[in-house]
A and B are shown apart, each in its own frame.
Chain A
């Protein structure tokens, strides 16, 4: 880490090698696809190397890197909002709340369904569920109301549940047939 602060290229590369696959997993949750995720990852690391002086050593270094990465992802989302004003709102189905077979759902599956979400839903869901932001924080960061954050979260959950059910049904279908 000291090497990174000094701008040592070797140390920077080492840091990248140690953390990048975890960080890409973070970026993937916020992005539509891998390409977008890698773009964010790249921007995130550039920011990390530029801002490394600002890291005061409170909290884990990885936690700090993760925060920078999440912020980069949110920032890139907000930029994309400015570019394409239209944010499609997915139809929110009232979920018949079926149960899930937890064991069969891998990280890749969940990643797939998350990436399918509309951008806004994905943001709120990630920030609230995985990163642990409060609705107030989300509202401030994304420039929406707290109520909107709450309703988007529940819609996101509903859509995810539905998608997972579909996926499981498909999985069973392939197993049986």
Chain B
């Protein structure tokens, strides 16, 4: 055997590979085909995309429209308008009336028991109503005015209960009324106390600013976006975009 020259060596390879054939895997063509395919199909997704966009816009639009429609209803129940509006007290009266009547039978028998449910009822009612005011406090109305609202509100249920009880159980001793009142009295103070420090907060951080803007723009109960500004660094607490809602349900 002779030592092989580079030329010959190269030629050996060239010859062998000249017409070499190796059959590819069977499924290779289909994968090539699927790679060329998308070019023609790409037109269709545009229609789909635009259709999807229209659908999304429609959905958002309708949900916003519906929320605005149902807006006034929520107002009456949950949100107190800034000024002193008699409407505020009205629903409360109704609420307490309905719930206030129930324990009355008990009042006749045992007074202390009767006092309790009313207290708790009143507590939750008033607190719920105060909330929106916290949100709106920065907007405009002077503090004094609000204070008055607050007192009016706080007193309102008291009066209601008083009259209610007087009406329903007029034979009951005066003590019972007094007891009921006593139950309510500290509550009223408590409510005012609670709401005051928050009212005085003012604008401390970005969250407050955003809350302020959103509050003026979005009168719904569930704002588009809400920041928790209790601690110094504000963080988003509620995001509410139509049907999608992220965050705590209610700050309680």
Contact = CB atoms under 8 A, between A and B. Distances in A.
Given A21-B22, A157-B9, A29 B35 contact: no
A102 B4 CA distance: 10
A12 B36 contact: yes
A102 B10 CA distance: 12
Interface string B1-26: 11110100110111011011111110
Residue with the highest number of chain A CB atoms closer than 10 Å, among B6, B9, B16: B16
Given A21-B22, A22-B21, A130 B32 contact: no
A24 B23 contact: yes
B14 A129 contact: yes
Contacts of A21: 21-24
A97 B35 contact: no
A41 B21 CA distance: 13
A22 B25 contact: no
A48 to B, nearest CB: 10
B222 to A, nearest CB: 51
B34 to A, nearest CB: 10
A13 B33 contact: yes
Contacts of B35: 42, 46
Contacts of A130: 13-14, 17
A9 B2 contact: no
A13 B33 CA distance: 8
A46 B19 CA distance: 23
A2 interface: no
Given A20-B28, A100-B12, A130-B13, A107 B20 contact: yes
B29 interface: yes
Interface in A92-123: 97-102, 105-107, 110-111, 114
Contacts of B250: none
Contact of B21 (A13, A25, A38): A25
B28 A129 contact: no
Nearest to A98: B1
Contacts of A105: 12, 16
Nearest to B2: A99
Given A46-B35, A129-B13, A24 B1 contact: no
A105 B10 CA distance: 13
Interface in A16-33: 16-17, 20-22, 24-25, 28-29
Nearest to A25: B20
Nearest to A154: B6
A161 interface: yes
Contacts of B17: 25, 29, 107, 110, 130
A106 B21 CA distance: 12
B16 A107 contact: yes
B31 interface: yes
B24 A38 contact: yes
A19 to B, nearest CB: 10
Contacts of B28: 20, 38, 41-42
A147 B17 CA distance: 26
A106 B24 contact: no
Given A49-B36, A98-B1, 13 more contacts: A16-B32, A20-B28, A24-B22, A42-B32, A97-B3, A100-B1, A100-B12, A102-B12, A107-B16, A114-B13, A129-B14, A157-B10, A160-B9
23 contacts: A13-B29, A16-B29, A16-B32, A20-B28, A20-B29, A21-B23, A21-B24, A22-B20, A25-B20, A25-B21, A38-B24, A38-B28, A46-B36, A99-B1, A105-B16, A106-B16, A107-B20, A114-B13, A129-B10, A129-B14, A130-B13, A157-B10, A161-B9
Interface of B: 1-4, 6, 9-10, 12-14, 16-17, 19-25, 28-29, 31-33, 35-36
A-B pairs with the 7 shortest C-beta distances?
A99-B1, A25-B20, A97-B3, A21-B21, A107-B16, A129-B10, A24-B22
